[in-house]
Structure 1
Amino acid sequence: MSLYDDAVAVLKDLAATDEQQSGLRDVYLEHLAAHPDGVYKPCRAGHVTGSALVIDPVRGRVLLTLHKKLGMWLQMGGHCEPGDATLADVALREAVEESGIAGGLTLLPGGPVRLDRHAIPEPCNWHLDVQYAALAPADAVAEISEESLDLRWFPYAEVAAVADASVVRLMEASLARL
């Protein structure tokens, strides 16, 4: 199965939690039907990305990265690469690369937590983000990557003060599944 086929299957199986998520799922599926290259960055009409919110449920905190280009506190995430077999692989690879947590991250069971579509600067139009949650081991040590200005653990209660609404919604949906 190709990454494209996995993306279509994951999206078709995704249980939407509300009308907005159901509508986004349909937008993503329509995009992929129209763009067989829609999982990769060169697709100028937009492309699927994978991300993961790293959660430390023992300490009640999440790990956010201060994105180098956007200057915003976000979950770990990025573009699909040719070696990725599944969207889950994309999300986990990005979480490991950007968090520096070399071993022990595991995706929260049950597949993606949310979908989030956001505009990006030209030459592309959209990121169609498929969002997962990754559980960190109790002894996890995070290390800043080249892609970040900063990397920091935030208690759940502080996330809304530093991150945008999409990150807060992802955190809330992730915590509801713990």
Structure 2
Amino acid sequence: MLSFTDTKLLVEKYNAFNETEAAFKTQVLDFLEKNPHNFADRHNLNGHLTASAWILDATFQKCLLIHHAKLQRWFQAGGHIEPEDTSLEHAAWREATEETGLKSLETLSRYPQIWDIDIHPIPANKQMAAHLHFDIRFAFMATDKEILPQLSEITDIRWINLSELPNYNDSESLLRMKSKTLALCEKF
């Protein structure tokens, strides 16, 4: 089970990439303060924390995206936090392996633990009212490329060249993660 204290500290230590992400970080910290006991509960109508995985190949030139059946859009792997998740990073890793079938994902641990923070609305459906996902994202490198969609909520899964990412999803959120990847490559 996630620790409120560890989760809050992890978010506090994160250095935002730009003003948008800095605002998201502030909103996540405010949300945590107001929801210390149910911040990861998917039934919290104020919203809840989720965990995602920005998966890169070994060259850092491709990212792995899934096509979400209900939303009919391409996204990074990720989803809800489960009671057995001991950390947000573990939740992101678990979601990534469940959704992609990848067996070998390495955390890019030499970089800041959190890769990205995003807040996005989830539309109402038959089971739940509209709410927010306070998404905490981690970067992983896949050491194998054998992908097998594992869940019925995924209609397709692809390695995408970063240069082609806008053709699949041109949201500020994914383009920000692309920019971070390119900035990281420039350092080496």
Task: Give the alignment's TM-score, normalised by structure 2.
Answer: 0.87
Give the fraction of aligned pairs with identical amino acids, expressed as a percent.
31
1:161-172 to structure 2, matched below 5 A, reads: 161-165=167-171, 166-172=173-179
CA deviation vs aligned residue, 1:107-133 (integer Å, no higher than 9, x gap): 222211111110112314100101111
1:86-165 to structure 2, matched below 5 A, reads: 86-102=87-103, 104-109=104-109, 110-122=112-124, 123-137=129-143, 139-146=144-151, 147-165=153-171
- 2:25 match: 25
Give the Cα–Cα distance (whole angstroms) in 2 for the partners of residues 156 and 81 of structure 1: 30
- 2:5 match: 5
Check conservation: 1:50, 1:77, Cα contact below 8 A.
Answer: yes
Which consecutive residues of structure 1, in runs of 5 or more, have no partner in the other structure?
none
Give the Cα–Cα distance (whole angstroms) in 2 for the partners of residues 114 and 124 of structure 1: 23
Give the Cα–Cα distance (whole angstroms) in 2 for the partners of residues 175 and 48 of structure 1: 27
Check conservation: 2:2, 2:83, Cα contact below 8 A.
Answer: no
Alpha carbons of structure 1 residues 97 and 34: separation in structure 2 relative to 1, 3 Å: same
Specify the code of the residue in structure 2 equivalent to 1:117. Answer: I
Give the Cα–Cα distance (whole angstroms) in 2 for the partners of residues 56 and 50 of structure 1: 20
Specify the code of the residue in structure 2 equivalent to 1:135. Answer: M
Specify the code of the residue in structure 2 equivalent to 1:174. Answer: T
Which consecutive residues of structure 2, in runs of 5 or more, have no partner in the other structure?
none
Give the Cα–Cα distance (whole angstroms) in 2 for the partners of residues 125 and 73 of structure 1: 20
Alpha carbons of structure 1 residues 167 and 29: separation in structure 2 relative to 1, 3 Å: same
Give the Cα–Cα distance (whole angstroms) in 1 for the partners of residues 77 and 182 of structure 2: 17
Check conservation: 2:108, 2:140, Cα contact below 8 A.
Answer: yes
Give the Cα–Cα distance (whole angstroms) in 1 for the partners of residues 69 and 138 of structure 2: 21
Give the Cα–Cα distance (whole angstroms) in 2 for the partners of residues 26 and 59 of structure 1: 29
SS in 1 for 2:65: strand
Count of residue pairs the alignment pairs up: 176
Task: Give the alignment's TM-score, normalised by structure 1.
Answer: 0.91
CA deviation vs aligned residue, 1:7-29 (integer Å, no higher than 9, x gap): 21111111122222222111101
Specify the code of the residue in structure 2 equivalent to 1:51. Answer: S
Check conservation: 1:49, 1:77, Cα contact below 8 A.
Answer: yes
Give the Cα–Cα distance (whole angstroms) in 1 for the partners of residues 130 and 86 of structure 2: 23
- 1:52 match: 53
